[in-house]
Amino acid sequence: STDARELLVTTDEGVESFSPDQLRAMRDEFQRFLLEYQFGLREVETKLGILRDEFLQMHDYNPIEHVSSRVKTADSLVEKVIRKGVEPNFDAIRGAITDIAGIRVTTSFSKDAYRLFDLLTAQDDITVRAVKDYIAEPKENGYKSLHVIVEVPVFLSTGRVDVAVEVQFRTIAMDFWASLEHKIYYKYDGAVPDGLLAELREAAQVATTLDLRMEALHDQVRALPRDEEADAAREVTADKARTLLEALQRYNTGGGPTLDAG
């Protein structure tokens, strides 16, 4: 006789039953499996945050517009396991599905996408598992993005695990295009009409042209010599502000009203 609370699962091999304790253990194992990917994301996000802050400090320039990240939902993971015919055990899933943890890095310009890719993948605790450069070689539909699967070590109480994280680098224009294409693709359930596909390809061309023109403009502006007159004016204003501050400090400490900052 079977405990009423047991779960019966029908598989090709017949009917299997799971007790509540077994189900709880499976749930805990699944949660722990996904948690490793959360930690992997955190490690890579920290690395990207450090690169961004250091860039700002050293070059007065922020190469990152936006970072978003997600761990695949259980539903979407199960769907992919079935679609790809992966053995339903954690080791097989770990090996076969490399986008359980995903980060998207949006940059202003495509050279920043490559620069961040180089800086991240050069770090000696990062192992590169695969690279797909859809910026250099866009997909047939016009999709552009630089993808890399990296492995990052995560240190748990039980020891080290190397976690796979997919990082996608793309410009704002590429991201705008990809989000729209994604929505259209899902709306038509994959069967997008030919006319719309052609328009999407054309829009991808426009996005590429925009990227190139914006990058050229940006390079021109950065190559301009600094406006020395404006620098001098800023210096005078800063001097006046300092004098005023000193006068106010003297006033506060009883030195009397000597507000002669000019």
**Binding residues for ligand 0O2 (CB under 6 A):** 99, 132, 139, 141, 143, 147, 178, 181-182
Q: Is 57 left (phi over 0), alpha (psi -120 to 50) or beta?
A: alpha
Between 136 and 245, whose beta carbon lies closer to ligand 0O2? Answer: 136
d(CA 123, CA 46): 13
Between 2 and 141, whose beta carbon lies closer to ligand 0O2? Answer: 141
Smallest distance from the beta carbon of 123 to ligand 0O2, in angstroms? 21
Q: 151 - beta bridge partners?
A: 127, 164
Q: Which residues are catalytic?
A: 166
d(CA 68, CA 106): 9
Question: What's phi and psi for 228, nearest 5 deg?
Answer: -65, -35
C-alpha closest to that of 109 among 143, 139, 131, 135 = 135
Smallest distance from the beta carbon of 49 to ligand 0O2, in angstroms? 22
Between 196 and 244, whose beta carbon lies closer to ligand 0O2? Answer: 196
Q: Tell me if 153 sits within 8 A of 162, measured CB to CB.
A: yes
One-letter amino acid of 242: R
Smallest distance from the beta carbon of 96 to ligand 0O2, in angstroms? 8
Q: 121 - beta bridge partners?
A: none
Between 188 and 251, whose beta carbon lies closer to ligand 0O2? Answer: 188
C-alpha closest to that of 170 among 205, 212, 135, 214 = 135
Smallest distance from the beta carbon of 102 to ligand 0O2, in angstroms? 6
